[in-house]
Each structure stands twice: as C-alpha cells, then as structure tokens.
Amino acid sequence: MARELDTTYSASLPAQLIRPVRMVQLAFRSQTVYCWTGVGPLTWNGLTFLGIGSLGKISAVREGVGLQAGSVTLTLSAIDPLLFAECMADIRLGATVRIWRGNVDASGALIGTPYQLFRGQVDQPAISMGAQDMSIALTVESRIVNLQRASGRRYTAADQRLSYPTDMAFDWLEQLNDLALVWG
C-alpha cells in the first residue's frame, strides 16, 4: 500500500539512530484513551498521549498485497485485579482503534507527522490472571472482516423502507413467490 509520508518523517528514516514509537487511540465506553509506547506525555495533533512504557504491547502489524482482513493484539499488563469488573464494563466491542507509527528525537519530540499504521475495531478481550496482577489483550480486527459477515438485510418491501421510506421497488416482489411463470 502506498503511503503518503511526511517529508520530515521520511528524512529521519535513514538516520543511524532511529527512535520509533507507536501511538494508539482506543475508544472505551467512558472515554477515548490516547497512549504511546514511551514514558510520560506526548503531544501530537492537539492530543496528549499517555506513556505506558513496558506495560503495553502491540503485536506485529502485517500487510499483504491482496485484500485481506488483518488483526493486531493490544495488551495492557500490571492491572490491579480489583479493577477487573470496571475494566470489562468499559470495553466496547466494535470501537474504533487507530495505531500510528512515528519517530522521536533525543528530547522525545515527534519528528514530522506519524503515519497511520492500522485502523480497526475491537473484538473480544482475552484476560490473563496472575497471583498479583492481570493483563487484558484486545484483538483489533480490520474493518475488512465485516465483508465476511452476513448483513442481516432482506429483500422485502419492509426492509427496503427502513433505508428508503418512499421507495416502492420491492412492493411487488412478495407476490412473485406465488406466481407460476411458464417459459417457452
């Protein structure tokens, strides 16, 4: 997939020392959370990303040549087990997740504009409980996976009127079920 990379960001790629970061936008029921793979706050595009350091993990993002649904796993560890019910109630299935990739300089400031690496929707969470803490892994699926699901729509007049109230294209369709047509 061709990428429109920011010229400042592109110029930083051939450097001898690169400090890559990933930034994540995740919509929960109570709020939208912005976090990144470093430590401390990072400001970009009017948003403040909270640093989660080594407590968060992002699986590899794979791209293919053809049209295929991909997925990424976001893991947050060292969660207090007392917050389990609150965490599970706040996760919203189907919420939009965006992941960006960028580079930072020695002072921790972003170099250029990061590019969007992945965009998808939250699927079922996986929970790992330990003796002292727990971790939650969210699988984020590409929106292309929706093409594999049945739409649930019907070819009836009532269903057509849900989207187009004045359309009468399907009004006679139900009568065709009982009509015997003789060919030839």
Considering the domain architecture, whether residues 182 and 137 belong to the same structural domain is answered as no
pLDDT mean values, one per 10 residues, the chain (184 residues): 67 74 88 88 90 79 69 80 77 87 84 86 82 80 74 84 89 80 82
Considering the domain architecture, whether residues 46 and 135 belong to the same structural domain is answered as yes
Residue 166: per-residue pLDDT = 93
Residue 77: per-residue pLDDT = 82
Phi, psi (5° rounding) for residue 125?
Answer: -80, 155
Considering the domain architecture, whether residues 116 and 183 belong to the same structural domain is answered as no
Domain assignment of residue 35, given as a range: 7-149
Residue 98: per-residue pLDDT = 92
In a domain, 1, yes or no: no
CA angle 23, 9, 119 (to 5 degrees): 35
Considering the domain architecture, whether residues 121 and 50 belong to the same structural domain is answered as yes
Residue 65: per-residue pLDDT = 67
In a domain, 45, yes or no: yes
Considering the domain architecture, whether residues 21 and 37 belong to the same structural domain is answered as yes
- Per-residue b/e over 49-62, b at no fewer than 16 CB within 10 Å? bebbeeebebeeee
- Please give the helix or strand (H or E) that residue 43 lies within, else none: strand 42-44
pTM for the model stands at: 0.70
SS3 102: strand
Question: Considering only CA atoms, which of 53, 79, 73 is closest in space to residue 126?
Answer: 73
In a domain, 125, yes or no: yes
CA distance 60 to 28: 23
Considering the domain architecture, whether residues 91 and 162 belong to the same structural domain is answered as no
Residue 154: per-residue pLDDT = 82
Considering the domain architecture, whether residues 81 and 165 belong to the same structural domain is answered as no
How many domains does the chain divide into? Answer: 2
In a domain, 78, yes or no: yes
Considering the domain architecture, whether residues 85 and 111 belong to the same structural domain is answered as yes
Residue 164: per-residue pLDDT = 92
Residue 1: per-residue pLDDT = 46
